[in-house]
Amino acid sequence: MMSNHGARITQGQFSYLPDLTDVQIKAQIAYALDQGWAVSVEYTDDPHPRNTYWELYGNPMFDLKDPAGILTEINACRKTFPNHYIRVMAFDATKGWESPRMSYIVNRPKDEPGFVVERIERDGRSQGYTIRSYATMKPEGKRYP
């Protein structure tokens, strides 16, 4: 029995909702910019939840006032990596925070195969568990055809 039919990965904000439209993405970016956070676009083809550091697309974007510039960059990234995961991240540089405040996926591969649970036999017959994406069985760049 499958428990997650679409096998959609659920990382970051809004990941249980249907994919955001461009208008919704823009509204979220506008919120982040109003808070004074620096927004960047990142992509990866390794969806493991512990893969925190995705590749940065283009240069970091500071001092932007309007979401249109970031949407341009998202669309450029979608064009370059149509079948990768792409997320938008908003970084808060205020002292005490100095960390991402928002992160949400704006592009996914057409086909997400999901994860396999692997069991490892350890000393004294104890079991270790880990998960692994079916996609990452293939080398980087060939994971989402």
Partner 1 sequence: MSSETVATVDLRAEFAASGVAEVLDELDRALIGLAPVKKRVREMAALLLVERARKSMGLTQAAPTLHMSFTGNPGTGKTTVALKMANLLHKLGYVRKGHLVTVTRDDLVGQYVGHTAPKTKEVLKRAMGGVLFIDEAYYLYRPENERDYGQEAIEILLQVMENQREDLVVILAGYADRMDTFFSSNPGFRSRIAHHIDFPDFSDDELFQIAGFMLEEQNYKLSAAGADALRDYVTQRRAQPHFANARSIRNAIDRARLRQANRLFEAAAGPLDAAALSTLDSEDFRASRVFSGGLASDKKRADP
Q: Which residues bind partner 1 (CB under 8 A)?
A: 58-59, 61, 63-70, 72-73
CB of 134 to partner 1, least distance (A): 36
CB of 93 to partner 1, least distance (A): 17
Q: Give whichever of 20 and 61 is closer to partner 1, judged by the CB atom.
A: 61
CB of 12 to partner 1, least distance (A): 23
Q: Give whichever of 67 and 109 is closer to partner 1, judged by the CB atom.
A: 67
**Per-residue DSSP letters for 73-107?**
HHHHHHHH-TTSEEEEEEEE-STTT-EEEEEEEEE
Alpha helices in the chain (DSSP H): 22-34, 68-80
CB of 59 to partner 1, least distance (A): 6
Q: Give whichever of 71 and 135 is closer to partner 1, judged by the CB atom.
A: 71
In Å, how far are 34, 55, 99 from 92, measured between CA atoms? 12, 19, 6
How many whole angstroms separate alpha carbon 35 and alpha carbon 31? 6
Q: Give whichever of 72 and 130 is closer to partner 1, judged by the CB atom.
A: 72
Angle, helices 68-80/22-34, rounded to nearest 10 degrees? 130
